[in-house]
Amino acid sequence: MSSGQTEKGEFKIAEPGRQLKRAEADFMRLIEQQNLQRVQKLQRQRRNNKLTGIALGGTVLGIYLYSMFSVKQEKFLDDFEEPVKIEVENKAL
């Protein structure tokens, strides 16, 4: 077995009282920086996804409400009965 492995094949993180070498500390800083950049990218993506979802939802809701309001104002179905009333009135005279 190598010096960094235990009997189960797992690697030790650190030995008690052992100081990190400069290369190890630099590598840890590099990894932390990369993780921070990755997390910031994911947070930015999540925020953009939420904004896109809100915009799409608002658009769909706006179209739905506009359609309901415009159909409510239309009177074209009421006009179908008008000619019948006029014909009945003309026959009565």
Residue whose structure tokens are 């739905």: 64
The model's confidence at residue 73, banded by pLDDT at 50, 70 and 90, is confident
Query: What pLDDT score was predicted for residue 18?
Result: 77
User: How far apart, in whole angstroms, are the C-alpha atoms of residue 15 and residue 33?
Assistant: 24
∠ Cα 37 43 49 (to 5°): 135
- Statement: residue 7 has pLDDT above 70: no
- Tens-digit pLDDT profile for residues 24-51: 889 999 999 999 999 999 999 999 999 9
pLDDT of 1 above 60: no
